[in-house]
Chain A
Amino acid sequence: MAIKNKIDTFAGPLSRSNPITTQVLGICSALAVTVKMDTALVMSGALIFVLVGSNTIVSALRNLIPARVRIIAMLTVIATLVIFIDQLLKAYLYDISKQLSIFVGLIITNCIVLGRAEAFALKNTMWESALDGLGNAMGYGLILLLVSAARELFGNGSLLGFQIVPDFLYVEHGGWYVNNGLMLLAPGAFIILGLLIWLQRTVTGYTED
């Protein structure tokens, strides 16, 4: 495989074939964990670990897995990785893992993970599968980062926990500004996501039939 194809395998999911904005996969976690940037970052990190790992392992085993039981075999690999990262987060990032609650565990059912294993890792070499996993997970992470930045900034006036909107602007301190409560609700994430998709498709000219 040529270098250009390898770059494409990695960079495609970042924009053109982004798992969230183009393929519209993994929406539930994108809505749930993007109220604040730190949870979105940790979630993205967890997904990068799981997706790269599962793609690599599934690809290594692709000639050994019988076609009829491939889903259950892939799920076993994914579930093992997810439990591993879940325990790791509980041990070292307890507060954030509590905020993420079940959503790390739910990576097992994240459509992106199983989708990449089924559509890509079963048919390609380990190295390419790892690149594909990294690209898709980072494409997911990129969108999560953008959505959570918008939600935290407008919903809380902060980014990564640092106050961005000055205190004196708030009504409580004699100003006029009020945080936007809609951004803290799931529909806020839907609207931000929709605007991102609109922007992306205006720039790239991508349309769906």
Chain B
Amino acid sequence: MKALRKFLDGVEPHFSEGGKWSRLAPLYEMVDTIFFVPGTVTSTAPHLRDAIDIKRSMFTVIVALMPALIFGIYNTGYQVSPDAGFLQNMLTGGIAIVPLILVSYIVGGLWELLFAVVRKHEVNEGFLVTGLLLPMTLPPDIPLWMVALGISFGVVIGKEVTGGTGYNVFNPALVARAFIFFAYPGEMSGDPVWSLADDLTAATPLAAASSVQGADAVALVSGAGYSIWDMFLGLIPGSVGGTSTLAILSGAVVLIATRIANWRIMAGGVGGMVAAALLANALAPASQNTMLSLSPLHHFVMGGFAFGIVFMATDPVSAAQTDQGRWIYGFLIGVLCVMIRVLNQAFVEGIMLSILLGNAFAPMIDYFVLRQNIAKRQRAYAKQ
């Protein structure tokens, strides 16, 4: 560590004003603050004393993502050859997934650096999370150039266009995924994409549920060999990080315990999903659409619902900012997710679109929560 500090201090003059690489100052700043807590002290009030800064809090999210990621790597190998050993499967999965993550970080990082240099600000920490979230929502065999294109779109259109980190309306990782989803639907949906092995086609539980028109969706899921327990543990085909609800929940525990992500959004999301699913169940006997009969438990463990509500919806920038608003925002996402899954069979996975819609509504939710609070206080003031 000391040698690293010495090296960084040694090259620092080149990057400060007047140095030969002064235009690349954001690069130095980025590397320096990843390894060391910056020594800068706020000179004007208010003074907050806290060991955590944005970079540290983003690292916490990375830590929370680790169980799902490691499980995803193992599962990718497991889907190819269930009988191989643990190490063999980790190796198969790693060979497929590590390149996805590297491409996402390198290409997205270059865009971040370019904008930081042109706009003369520091490289934003949020990208650490965005760059890992995107590959975890993709199928393991997606071509690398699509990942590069997707993360470019997510960083530039999803974030930098509106002013960079803190000003983005939508979650950049989801914008990137939506781009790939609509631009290259052949690589993002359908049965063949979820497994590395070319000759193996495997339907995800959601795809299985909606595969046969008019047949009972619940029976189709169990008929495809998926019990609730299987889907909870996650040894099933699906996106890299999204199959294991168990691994995602352990990440959620980290996020809630450290208060990095807001539990109200997650609770609201699960509440909305349960409410919408129960309503759908009640309507199921009157309809030909058997997707209506999927229970809340099914919706919870199927597809990317858990991953989205824990890691994507809780993005502090694009989510609602008021406590009351967070409940409403999460609830809205849960309801929309079930509605899209059940009613719009062209998009079997509803969580991506529902979070993007939730992002769009978040400022308005906050606005009305604030208005209502102001009106309440005005009434209380008038009574005195």
Residues of A within 8 A of B (CB): 176, 178, 180-183, 185, 187, 191, 194, 198
Please state if A178 and B182 are interface contacts (CB–CB under 8 Å): no
Q: Is B184 on the interface with A (CB-CB < 8 A)?
A: yes
- Chain B nearest Cβ from A128, distance in angstroms: 38
CA separation between A198 and B146, bound complex, in Å? Answer: 24
Partner of A178, one of B157, B161, B187: B187
Q: Counting CB contacts under 8 A, is B115 at the interface?
A: no
**Contact mask for chain B residues 125-146; partner A; CB cutoff 8 A; 1 contact, 0 none:** 0000000000000000001011
**In the assembly, what is the distance between CA of A198 and CA of B157, in Å?**
11
19 contacts between A and B (CB under 8 A): A176-B143, A176-B145, A178-B146, A178-B184, A178-B186, A178-B187, A180-B183, A180-B184, A181-B183, A181-B184, A181-B185, A182-B179, A182-B183, A185-B182, A187-B182, A191-B157, A194-B157, A194-B161, A198-B161
Q: Chain A interface mostly helix, strand, loop or mixed?
A: helix
Q: Which of B169-208 contact A (CB under 8 A)?
A: 179, 182-187
Lowest 6 CB-CB distances: which A-B pairs, in order? A182-B183, A180-B183, A182-B182, A181-B183, A178-B184, A181-B185
Asked if B157 and A181 sit within 8 Å, CB to CB, the answer is no
A139 to B135, CA, bound (A): 41
Q: A194–B183 Cα gap in the complex (Å)?
A: 17
Q: Which of A180, A185, A187, A191 has the most CB of B within 10 A?
A: A180
Select from chain A the residue with minimum beta-carbon distance to B186. A178
B residues whose Cβ falls under 8 Å from a Cβ of A: 143, 145-146, 157, 161, 179, 182-187
Q: Which residues of A contact B184 (CB under 8 A)?
A: 178, 180-181
Expressed in whole angstroms, the minimum distance between the Cβ of B143 and any Cβ of chain A is: 6
Q: How far is the CA of A183 from the CA of B146 in the complex (A)?
A: 15
When distances are taken between beta carbons in the complex, the residues of chain B under 8 Å from A176 are: 143, 145
Bound CA–CA A183/B187 (angstroms): 16
The chain A residue with its CB closest to the CB of B149 is A180
CB distance from A21 to the nearest CB of B (A): 15
Kindly report which residue of chain A lies nearest to residue B187, judged by CB atoms: A178
Chain A residues with Cβ below 8 Å from B179 are 182
- Rounded to whole angstroms, the CA-CA distance of A183 and B182 in the bound complex is 9
Contacts of A187 in B (CB 8 A): 182
Nearest A residue to B156 by beta-carbon distance?
A195
A182 to B181, CA, bound (A): 9
* Cβ contacts under 8 Å, B157 to chain A: 191, 194
On whether the beta carbons of A183 and B183 are closer than 8 Å, the reply is yes
CB-CB < 8 A to A181: which residues of B?
A: 182-185
Smallest distance from the beta carbon of B30 to chain A beta carbons, Å? 25
Name which residue of chain B comes closest to A178, CB basis. B184
The smallest beta-carbon distance between A95 and chain B, in angstroms, is 28
Min distance, Cβ A157 to any Cβ of chain B, angstroms: 13
Closest to A181 in B: B183
CB distance from B24 to the nearest CB of A (A): 22
Q: Smallest CB–CB gap between B137 and chain A, Å?
A: 17
Q: Would you give the shortest CB distance from B256 to chain A, in whole angstroms? A: 35
Instruction: Return A19 CB to nearest CB of chain B, in Å.
Output: 23
Q: Which residue of B lies closest to A177 (CB)?
A: B145
CB closest residue in chain A, given B179: A182
Nearest residue (CB) in A for B181 is A182
Identify 14 new A-B residue pairs, CB closer than 8 A, beyond the known A182-B183, A187-B182, A191-B157: A176-B145, A178-B143, A178-B184, A178-B186, A181-B182, A181-B183, A181-B184, A181-B185, A182-B179, A183-B183, A185-B182, A194-B157, A194-B161, A198-B161
Q: Which residues of A contact B143 (CB under 8 A)?
A: 176, 178
Taken together as a complex, chains A and B put the C-alpha atoms of A191 and B184 apart, in Å, by 16
Give the residues in chain A near B161, CB-CB below 8 Å.
194, 198
CB distance from B145 to the nearest CB of A (A): 7
Which of B161, B182, B186, B187 has the most chain A CB within a 10 Å cutoff? B182
Q: Which residues of A contact B183 (CB under 8 A)?
A: 180-183
